[in-house]
Amino acid sequence: MAAGASIFGRLAELADFSAATVIVDVAGGNGELLSRILAASPHLHGVPLERPHVIHAARKLLSQAGVMDRCELITGDFTEGIPGGGDVYPLSRVLHDWDDERCAAILRQCAEAMPEHAELLIVERLPPEDDSPALALAWDVHMLCNVGGRERTAAHYGSC
Ligand SMILES: C[S@@+](CC[C@H](N)C(=O)[O-])C[C@H]1O[C@@H](n2cnc3c(N)ncnc32)[C@H](O)[C@@H]1O
């Protein structure tokens, strides 16, 4: 996933975080997306949630990016609980790991944790709705073979 960080492009600069204070990055991996968001918006604080054996990678990268003093790292399991009190909840390249039923369970946990005003920021590769070639299709097969997940179209996300 670290090698595929180019998916983030200029997201940190283009998304509007001006009304936010706390970003809860659900299953934030090595912290790449969160470090970009915090670097681009110095008023923000970050709360990455990750598994215990992965959080050290986030600590290292966030420290290298010089934003660790604005972070509170949380170890946990998103099927059991997600930190509350955030304003934006990125869910980056998480749903594509799971089948629809598990995705619904993860999204339910997000909904339980998120304050009324908070926003969910789903970051995924979108396969085209037609037959045109796209990198997302290779990822679709990759996710299916390795973790039983899938890439979903914009229409699929919109219908949920
Ligand atoms: C495909 S990676 C995406 C990482 C990051 N969000 C990104 O876009 O680079 C999925 C992440 O989910 C984390 N994860 C898997 N199961 C989890 C769970 N039950 N609770 C919290 N994190 C979990 C993994 O450790 C992994 O870092």
Which pLDDT score is estimated for 48?
A: 98
State the distance from the centre of ligand 1 to the C-alpha of 157, rounded, in angstroms. Answer: 19
Query: What are the tens digits of pLDDT across the range 89-106?
Result: 999 999 999 999 999 999
| Nearest Cα residue to 90 out of 1, 2, 28 | 28
Which stretches within the chain are classed as H helix? 11-14, 32-40, 55-64, 100-113, 135-147, 154-159
Question: What is the reported pTM?
Answer: 0.96
Is 96 annotated as catalytic? Answer: yes
Mean pLDDT of 33-61: 98
Which is catalytic among the residues 43, 96, 117, 156?
96
Residue that has been written with the tokens 């699929």 in this structure: 156
For 136-155, give one letter per residue: b (16+ CB within 10 A) or e: beebbeebeeeeebbbbeee
Q: Which segments of the chain belong to CATH 3.40.50.150? A: 2-124
Which pLDDT score is estimated for 2?
A: 81
CA gap 106, 90 in Å, rounded = 13
Which pLDDT score is estimated for 52?
A: 97
> What class, spelled out in words, does domain 2-124 have in CATH?
alpha beta
Which pLDDT score is estimated for 104?
A: 95
Residue 4 pLDDT exceeds 90? no
Categorize the per-residue pLDDT at 1 as very low, low, confident or very high, splitting at 50, 70 and 90. confident
Which pair of structure tokens corresponds to residue 16? Answer: 């509007």
Percentage of residues in the chain with pLDDT exceeding 90?
A: 93
User: Residue 112 burial (CB < 10 Å; 0-12/13-18/19+)?
Assistant: exposed
Categorize the per-residue pLDDT at 75 as very low, low, confident or very high, splitting at 50, 70 and 90. very high
State the distance from the centre of ligand 1 to the C-alpha of 133, rounded, in angstroms. Answer: 27
Which pLDDT score is estimated for 119?
A: 97
Residue 160 pLDDT exceeds 80? no
CA gap 96, 15 in Å, rounded = 21
Q: Is 34 in the pocket of ligand 1 (CB under 6 A)?
A: no
Which pLDDT score is estimated for 60?
A: 98
Residues in the chain: 160
Which pLDDT score is estimated for 3?
A: 83
Q: Is 32 in the pocket of ligand 1 (CB under 6 A)?
A: yes
Q: Is 78 in the pocket of ligand 1 (CB under 6 A)?
A: yes
Taking a C-beta distance cutoff of 8 angstroms, is the pair 11, 123 a contact? yes
